């Protein structure tokens, strides 16, 4: 268990089948509103699973899974590739890391949980030599109307570089960059409407696809989200490296693979 001074939480890799089941129950509760309907798929077996737990009682408060790829040539095997045409990223020569199924327990409101999750992620990125991190970031529900300001803000200043821009693959999408072209967002309203994870990505220089996928199974709208590690602002990069270094020994795992 990796800890940081002053935090009520610890972060570690799942090691057992029970650990993975706990993560899947939390995902079921978060995404489907039912912990008795665990959320799992075949990709779980290829991923490392990171758990954030409350130290006082061991309660699981957040989790996410990580899929390392040696280069963009392997991106077709990612979760995001099920929903987006990622041929632009297929030529990426360096190591990639997909973060998926990120969730925080609905009763947990402590911002330290997200901070610690990012610290753990920073430790893994450093250890793996990751050059590009990516995943799908979800808005609750499939109605885009409550998120007009958020999508307009993404369209105005946070689209992926053209060479990496994901193309449409899913059958149901909201092409927000086209629909909201020229719309001036209310920045405060946009930030309030965005998932905290997406705000974190953007604060580090992250970018998104030009369309959102309507995932009716999970009742979400999600956007492909990428982060070029070399493009993180220097001050933020130093902070992440510092947090990651504090956790690296306690979080280390021999491989990013499924727990036994």
Question: What domains are there in the chain, each with its CATH number?
Answer: 2-251 (3.40.630.30)
In this structure, the number of other CB atoms found within 10 A of the CB of residue 182 comes to: 7
The residues pairing with 224 across neighbouring beta strands, listed in sequence order, are 136
Give 29-39 pLDDT, tens digit per residue.
Answer: 999 999 999 99
Question: Average pLDDT, stretch 90-112?
Answer: 94
Give 211-227 pLDDT, tens digit per residue.
Answer: 999 999 889 999 999 99
Gap between the Cα atoms of 85 and 25, Å rounded: 30
Question: Average pLDDT, stretch 72-89?
Answer: 97
Gap between the Cα atoms of 31 and 140, Å rounded: 9
- The pLDDT of residue 180: 97
- The pLDDT of residue 128: 85
Residue 151 CB partners (closer than 8 Å, separation 6+): 144, 174, 176, 180, 212
Gap between the Cα atoms of 174 and 121, Å rounded: 29
Question: Average pLDDT, stretch 116-139?
Answer: 90
Gap between the Cα atoms of 66 and 35, Å rounded: 21
Confidence bin at 236 (pLDDT 50/70/90): confident
Confidence bin at 249 (pLDDT 50/70/90): low
What whole-number percentage of the chain has pLDDT above 70?
A: 90
Least confident of 48-57, 75-84, 120-129: 120-129
pTM, rounded to two decimals: 0.91
Residue with tokens 């885009």: 144
Distances (CA, A) of 2 to 13, 117, 249: 9, 11, 7
**Residue 192, both tokens:** 């309030």
């Amino acid at each position: 268990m990796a800890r940081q001074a002053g935090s009520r939480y610890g972060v570690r890799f799942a090691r057992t089948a029970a650990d993975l089941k706990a993560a899947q129950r939390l995902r079921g509760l978060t995404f489907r509103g039912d912990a008795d309907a665990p959320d799992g798929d075949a990709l779980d077996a290829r991923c490392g699973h990171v758990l954030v737990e409350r130290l006082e009682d061991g309660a699981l408060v957040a989790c996410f899974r990580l899929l390392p790829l040696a280069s963009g040539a392997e991106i077709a095997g990612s979760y995001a590739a099920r929903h987006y045409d990622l041929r632009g990223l297929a030529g990426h020569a360096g190591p990639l890391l997909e973060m998926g199924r990120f969730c925080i327990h609905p009763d947990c409101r402590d911002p330290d949980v997200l901070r610690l999750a990012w610290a753990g992620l920073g430790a893994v990125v450093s250890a793996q030599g990751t050059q590009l991190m990516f995943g799908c970031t979800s808005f609750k529900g499939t109605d885009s109307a409550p998120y007009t300001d958020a999508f307009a803000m993404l369209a105005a200043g946070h689209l992926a570089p053209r060479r990496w821009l994901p193309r449409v693959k899913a059958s149901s999408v909201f092409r927000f960059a086209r629909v909201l072209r020229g719309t001036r967002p209310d920045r405060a309203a946009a930030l309030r409407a965005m998932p905290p994870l997406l705000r974190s990505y953007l604060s580090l220089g992250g970018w998104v696809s030009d369309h959102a996928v309507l995932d009716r199974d999970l009742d979400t709208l999600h956007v492909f989200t990428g982060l070029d590690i070399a493009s993180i602002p220097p001050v933020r990069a130093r902070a992440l490296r510092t947090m990651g270094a504090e956790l690296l020994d306690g979080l280390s795992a021999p491989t990013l693979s499924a727990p036994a």
